[in-house]
Amino acid sequence: MAKKKEVKSLSEVTVRFAGDSGDGMQLTGTQFSDTTALFGNDLNTLPDYPAEIRAPAGTLYGVSGFQLHFSSSDIYTPGDNPDVLVAMNPAALKINLKDLKPSATIIVNIDSFDAKNLKLASYASNPLEDDSLQGFNVIPVPITSLTAAALEGSPLSTKEVTRCKNFFALGMMYWLYGRPIEATLSWINQKFSKKPEIASANAKALKSGYFYGETTEVFATSYTVEPAPLPKGTYRNISGNQATAYGLAAASVKSGLPLFLGSYPITPASDILHELSKLKNFGIKTFQAEDEIAGITSAIGASYAGSLAVTTTSGPGLALKTEAVGLAIMTELPLVIVDVQRGGPSTGLPTKTEQADLMQAIYGRNGEAPLPVIAASTPSDCFYMAIEACRLATKYMTPVILLTDGYLANGSEPWRIPHVEELQEIKVKQRTEKEGFYPYSRDENLARPWAVPGTPGLEHRIGGLEKSHIYGNVSYEHENHDFMVRMRAQKIKNIENDIPDLEVRFEQEGDLLVLGWGGTYGAITEAVLCARKEGLKVSQAHLKYLNPFPKNTAEVLKKFKTVLVPEINLGQLSRILRAEFLVPVVNFNKMKGLPFKASEIEAEIMNLLGGKQ
């Protein structure tokens, strides 16, 4: 009988799970997140995995990690530096050690610290036996052998038994932070319903890990992180890609238009295709095309036929789609293009995050080819911005680019689920009246009519060649082209009247505004809040509309002596702001394939305001 152990209360914890890319660390992290969300904590996650699916075991480049920050109050980031590292092998320890807090807890799987793995991780001596981990609270656990012992007599092979060790580790962590194991147990049973022996082994490993924590002497204390006081409602944990998919499905329901997705698999956007492919009972048609170009062009063809058409991709895919985006602009067909940005250029860093497609999204086409560009700022915001993209596309008869990024796409957070009736209707007109129909006539929004094939009496021809105003015949007239170029630009510019103003949080004018866009929202928010706690007067604003900008953007920018623009690129928004508004802005840039740490931005704020660092 184990004696009653001490329970300490914490307000927040950052945990990182790390192991080989075949160790199931992403799964372990996701399960811990879901359970933690169910428990009622606010949380934020950062999966970080290599592009190789199963990199050679034990290598430094094969390390896969999942970081999770959870708290009893609001949080905005996955945490700068972990309090706890679960390292499944020496490589995982080596890669992650530098990020840990000075007195962090390190739970290591000592079974993997053999000569071979130490060598693969380039350790000259065993770090568990020398003094290199001094200051850390190292908890050595023979995770592999304990898992094997727990599963003795199991019909599984040794290899299969070994693969259950992540559930042992997860069970241990559940005990350590007072989380219930039931949600994961039922997930295991569902996931492996067709392989009952695997299900039972994983469940047993999970429970054994939990009981190990309870009984063993190595853990003297367990911790509790109380639920966060979130606004009332029903919650679920949601990732950015899932939220994007649900937002698109919601837009289909709210507009009454059938959804068509033309897409080609690409990291980190494929999960949107996966999610929507499941939703066939919504009448959603997903078409896995032969290439990126067919992804967008099939969507254009579907839009032409009257569907709510979408294509999803990442930076290299958007580059391939470029010419077709121009066609959608020229033919003024509604289309939503989701770009889940990743490290570039070229193949770049497929599994890592970046914000360097902003210029590509706004300007990357031949000719004068403006379109609305909007960006989601948190995983759950992807839901609302996907709906907004659909609204703008259909109202203004234009392609719209929605930018998210790898961090938002794979990261997750608790989301207060909206009821369907709370979501705005998307009113769509498809032309049926024959009287006075001209393919390039325009409504009050300068949008041309959406007259879809199948509609009697409206037979007409569209295409990529310049068309005459109103009548839509091919036109090479000089004056007409000049007119149409300006008309298309004006149509997009006018959208500024239909989007919310840029909101400034805290002082409406002053010395410093931190202005961000997209996935940096969390880190900037936390940095600004921390700086303000230190007594610094700093305001925050976040752009969700990048083209056109909110109408009051110039006004906001001019009210601050300094505008700091942190971006995961070399200063793309900064450049546009300077060009558009003739204001000086200060860049703050990082391109490490990782999101900003709040502390990095906070340091920059301190620096600019002359405060202490």
Partner 1 sequence: MANNIDSNEVKLTAKDFVTDQDVRWCPGCGDYSVLAQTQRVLPDLGLPKEKIVWISGIGCSSRFPYYMNTYGFHTIHGRAAAIATGTKLANPELSVWVATGDGDLLSIGGNHFIHTCRKNIDLKILLFNNRIYGLTKGQYSPTSEKGKVTKSSPYGSIDFPFNPVTLALGAEASFVARALDRDPKHLQYVIKRAAEHKGTAFVEIYQNCVIFNDGAYSSLSEKDTRDDNVLYLEHGKPMIFGKNKDKGIIVDGTTPKVVSLTEGKYSVNDLLVHNEFDKSVVLAYLLGQMSNHAEFPTPVGIFRQISKSTYHEDMEKQIQEVKAKRGEGDLEKLLFSGNTWEVK
Listed residue (8, 40, 34) closest to 105, CA to CA: 8
Region from 287-295, 387-395, 481-489, 582-590 binding partner 1, contact rule CB under 8 A: 287-295
CB 394 within 8 A of CB 257: yes
End-to-end Cα spacing for the chain? 50
25 touches partner 1 by CB under 8 A = no
260 touches partner 1 by CB under 8 A = yes
250 touches partner 1 by CB under 8 A = yes
The label of the residue with tokens 């709510």 reads: 308
To the nearest whole angstrom, how small is the minimum distance from the Cβ of residue 86 to partner 1? 22
- Between residues 228 and 392, which has the closer beta carbon with respect to partner 1? 228
457 touches partner 1 by CB under 8 A = yes
Instruction: Starting at the earlier edge strand, list the strands of the sheet with 560-567.
Output: 504-505, 539-543, 510-517, 560-567, 586-589
Which of 282, 438, 483, 506 is the binder for partner 1 (CB under 8 A)?
282
To the nearest whole angstrom, how small is the minimum distance from the Cβ of residue 275 to partner 1? 10
- Between residues 253 and 603, which has the closer beta carbon with respect to partner 1? 253
474 touches partner 1 by CB under 8 A = yes
CB 486 within 8 A of CB 534: no
Helix, coil or strand: residue 396: helix
CB 2 within 8 A of CB 215: yes
Which of 74, 130, 197, 291 is the binder for partner 1 (CB under 8 A)?
291
246 touches partner 1 by CB under 8 A = yes
- Between residues 26 and 252, which has the closer beta carbon with respect to partner 1? 252
Interatomic CA distance for residues 158 and 147, integer angstroms: 11
Interatomic CA distance for residues 372 and 360, integer angstroms: 13
Helix residue spans in 142-195 (DSSP H):
143-150, 158-162, 165-176, 182-191
Binding mask 305-344 for partner 1 (x = CB under 8 A): xxx-x-------------xx-xx---x-------------
CB 581 within 8 A of CB 559: no
- What pairs with residue 223 in β-bridges? 8
The label of the residue with tokens 């580790």 reads: 169
To the nearest whole angstrom, how small is the minimum distance from the Cβ of residue 72 to partner 1? 13
Binding residues for partner 1 restricted to 173-212, rule: CB under 8 A: 183
Angle at 48 between CA 43 and CA 51, to 5 degrees: 150
Which of 7, 218, 465, 489 is the binder for partner 1 (CB under 8 A)?
465
To the nearest whole angstrom, how small is the minimum distance from the Cβ of residue 463 to partner 1? 3
480 touches partner 1 by CB under 8 A = no
434 touches partner 1 by CB under 8 A = no
To the nearest whole angstrom, how small is the minimum distance from the Cβ of residue 476 to partner 1? 11
Region from 94-102, 298-306, 388-396, 545-553 binding partner 1, contact rule CB under 8 A: 298-306
- Between residues 166 and 331, which has the closer beta carbon with respect to partner 1? 331
Interatomic CA distance for residues 402 and 372, integer angstroms: 9
Helix residue spans in 494-571 (DSSP H):
521-533, 553-558
Interatomic CA distance for residues 351 and 349, integer angstroms: 6
What's the sign of the alpha-carbon dihedral 87, 93, 96, 99?
Answer: positive
Binding residues for partner 1 restricted to 542-601, rule: CB under 8 A: none
Binding residues for partner 1 restricted to 483-502, rule: CB under 8 A: none
To the nearest whole angstrom, how small is the minimum distance from the Cβ of residue 237 to partner 1? 7
- Size of residue set near partner 1 by CB under 8 A: 73
To the nearest whole angstrom, how small is the minimum distance from the Cβ of residue 474 to partner 1? 7
410 touches partner 1 by CB under 8 A = no
Cis, bond preceding 548 (omega within 30 deg of 0): yes
Which of 102, 153, 436, 454 is the binder for partner 1 (CB under 8 A)?
454
Looking at residue 21, what DSSP letter applies?
A: T
468 touches partner 1 by CB under 8 A = no
What are the structure tokens assigned to 196, written together?
A: 């009952």
To the nearest whole angstrom, how small is the minimum distance from the Cβ of residue 294 to partner 1? 4
Which of 56, 135, 464, 584 is the binder for partner 1 (CB under 8 A)?
464
CA distances from 582 to 379, 384, 553, 557, 579 (A): 32, 31, 12, 10, 6
CB 570 within 8 A of CB 356: yes
Helix, coil or strand: residue 247: helix
- Between residues 455 and 562, which has the closer beta carbon with respect to partner 1? 455
Region from 246-254, 538-546, 565-573, 590-598 binding partner 1, contact rule CB under 8 A: 246-254
279 touches partner 1 by CB under 8 A = yes
To the nearest whole angstrom, how small is the minimum distance from the Cβ of residue 584 to partner 1? 41
- Between residues 137 and 224, which has the closer beta carbon with respect to partner 1? 224
Interatomic CA distance for residues 367 and 112, integer angstroms: 58
Interatomic CA distance for residues 509 and 120, integer angstroms: 55
To the nearest whole angstrom, how small is the minimum distance from the Cβ of residue 19 to partner 1? 24
Binding mask 108-127 for partner 1 (x = CB under 8 A): --------------------
- Between residues 213 and 306, which has the closer beta carbon with respect to partner 1? 306
Torsion of CA 548, 553, 558, 560, to 10 degrees: -130
Burial 284-311 (b: 16+ CB within 10 A, else e): bbbbebeebbbbbbbbbbbbbebbbbbb
Q: What are the backbone dihedrals phi and psi of residue 342, each rounded to the nearest 5 degrees, phi first? A: -140, 175
AA identity, residue 571: G
Which of 300, 362, 382, 495 is the binder for partner 1 (CB under 8 A)?
300
232 touches partner 1 by CB under 8 A = yes
258 touches partner 1 by CB under 8 A = yes
- Between residues 228 and 402, which has the closer beta carbon with respect to partner 1? 228
AA identity, residue 65: G
Which of 5, 207, 442, 460 is the binder for partner 1 (CB under 8 A)?
460
Listed residue (326, 432, 452, 334) closest to 391, CA to CA: 334
Listed residue (415, 375, 388) closest to 520, CA to CA: 375
Which of 22, 142, 265, 301 is the binder for partner 1 (CB under 8 A)?
301
Which of 110, 417, 529, 603 is the binder for partner 1 (CB under 8 A)?
417
455 touches partner 1 by CB under 8 A = yes
